[in-house]
Chain A
Amino acid sequence: DVKVTQSSRYLVKRTGEKVFLECVQDMDHENMFWYRQDPGLGLRLIYFSYDVKMKEKGDIPEGYSVSREKKERFSLILESASTNQTSMYLCASSYRDRGPFFGPGTRLTVL
Chain B
Amino acid sequence: DQQVKQNSPSLSVQEGRISILNCDYTNSMFDYFLWYKKYPAEGPTFLISISSIKDKNEDGRFTVFLNKSAKHLSLHIVPSQPGDSAVYFCAASTWNSGNTGKLIFGQGTTLQVKP
Interface on A for B, CB 8 Å cutoff? Answer: 4, 9, 31, 33, 35, 40-45, 48, 50, 58, 90, 92-94, 96-105, 107
Q: Which of B61-69, B73-81, B99-107 contacts A (4 or more CB under 8 A)?
A: B99-107
Interface on B for A, CB 8 Å cutoff? Answer: 4, 6, 9, 32, 34, 36, 41-46, 49, 89, 91, 95, 98-108
- The answer on a CB contact under 8 Å between A102 and B99 is no
Other than the given A31-B99, A97-B98, A98-B101, 11 more pairs (CB < 8 A) read A41-B107, A42-B6, A48-B101, A50-B99, A90-B44, A97-B100, A98-B100, A99-B34, A102-B36, A103-B43, A107-B41
- The answer on a CB contact under 8 Å between A44 and B105 is yes
- The answer on a CB contact under 8 Å between B100 and A99 is yes
Cβ contacts under 8 Å, B32 to chain A: 97
- The answer on a CB contact under 8 Å between A104 and B42 is yes
**Which of B36, B45, B91, B101 gathers the greatest number of chain A CB atoms within 10 Å?**
B101
- Give how many A-B residue pairs fall within 8 Å (CB-CB): 71
Which one of A4, A31, A40, A103 lies within 8 Å of B107 (CB-CB)?
Answer: A40
Cβ contacts under 8 Å, B4 to chain A: 42
Tell me the nearest residue of chain A to B48, going by C-beta.
Answer: A99
Cβ contacts under 8 Å, A98 to chain B: 100-101
Question: Bound complex: CA of A9 vs CA of B103, how far in Å?
Answer: 23
- The answer on a CB contact under 8 Å between B43 and A43 is no
Question: Bound complex: CA of A98 vs CA of B51, how far in Å?
Answer: 12
- The answer on a CB contact under 8 Å between B43 and A104 is yes
Q: Tell me how far the C-beta of B21 lies from the nearest C-beta in chain A, rounded to whole angstroms.
A: 13
